[in-house]
Amino acid sequence: MSTFTPQPSICVYCGSRPGAQPAYMDDATTFGTALAGEGWRLVYGAGDVGIMGAVARAAQAAGGDTFGVIPTHLMQLEVGKRDLTRFVVTENMHERKKVMFMNSDAIVVLPGGAGSLDEFFEVLTWAQLGLHAKPILLVNTNGYWDPLTGLVDHVIAQGFADASLREFITVVDGPAAAIATLRDALSRDTADTE
């Protein structure tokens, strides 16, 4: 007897700006296309600007399912993308992050700014506290996240976290490695629940 396996959903945190290097937008587009190619749903911040917009447009163009969540106060600034499969407007940032997290099976962080760092550290802290076991991937386009991983190592070295903190983070070089890592992690999760 076969059981229904729900469509995996990947939460993507990333910048609402394109960044200084074309590779950031290129990797976002490649990742969005690949995500849809795997049959996975994109869960993201519902913006149509910067890397956010590139990921969503690529996923849509490849026939992917898209789930966007945006707070009311960012509708204009981030150009809320209303043509998504599902478009949710929240009252505030906290609610946005909660809805995105609760509707995903894994987290992928592409290059981004303070908002992406906030989202990353929140889910990392929750993993450290044992509140979830979802994979957390940093897509390290052109070494973008090297300073961040260095900071995490520094926090550990200075005694503010156990070495196990680093084990919650998987750093990958680009979209292809991210997809391969997710495929492996999601297949293990499926096997564990059968």
- In the chain the domains, ranked by start, together with CATH numbers, are 9-193 (3.40.50.450)
pTM: 0.93
DSSP codes, 68-92: EEEEGGGTTTTTB-TTSSEEEEESS
The arithmetic mean of pLDDT across residues 160-165, rounded, is: 97
The pair of three-digit structure tokens given for residue 158, joined into one six-digit string: 């200075």
**pLDDT above 70 for 20:** yes
All residues at 6 or more sequence positions from 54 whose CB lies less than 8 Å from its CB, including other chains? 18, 25, 28, 29, 32
Mean per-residue pLDDT of the chain: 94
The full length of the chain comes to 194
The arithmetic mean of pLDDT across residues 26-54, rounded, is: 97
**103 close to 9: Cβ distance less than 8 angstroms:** yes
pLDDT tens-place string over residues 55-67? 999 999 999 999 9
DSSP codes, 4-60: --PPPEEEEE--SS--SSHHHHHHHHHHHHHHHHTTPEEEE--B-SHHHHHHHHHHH
